[in-house]
Amino acid sequence: MPALTPTRADRRKLGRDVGRELVQRFGRKPYYTRIEVLRILRRLGFSDAWSCWAYSLYLSPADFDAHHAAIGELCDYASMRSTMVDAVAGGLPDAFDASQSWLDWSGFDGFGDLFGASDGVDLSGGPDVS
């Protein structure tokens, strides 16, 4: 079983791989549902033990907090999200605000900085209808 806290390299891979797949499957959205993120995590073979880390990047603050309240866990959305963005993008965007969608961060190209879009993956935002 993997550690509950993934390494920086694991967080980078988790964030990028899940993000690419979310955009390809569900289109470009400010936030995704917990079920969408969990479905992608499992499809890609990531452990459920790391789900909270992916949730911190792709769920809204309210959905993240509601999920953790429902399961009786305390997790710090802003701290986890900052840690994920730093690992995935190699630093925090200008005027980073953890409460904003990744699409709203100033000085940050969500596709290039977060997903590494320069590797040839089509992240134009349309859902995969195949």
Enter the tokens of residue 73: 């866990």
The pTM assigned to this predicted structure is 0.79
pLDDT in tens, 12-45: 999 989 988 998 999 989 999 999 999 999 999 9
pLDDT, one tens digit per residue, over 93-109 is 666 777 778 677 655 55
Question: What DSSP string runs through 111-128?
Answer: IIIIH-GGGS---SS---
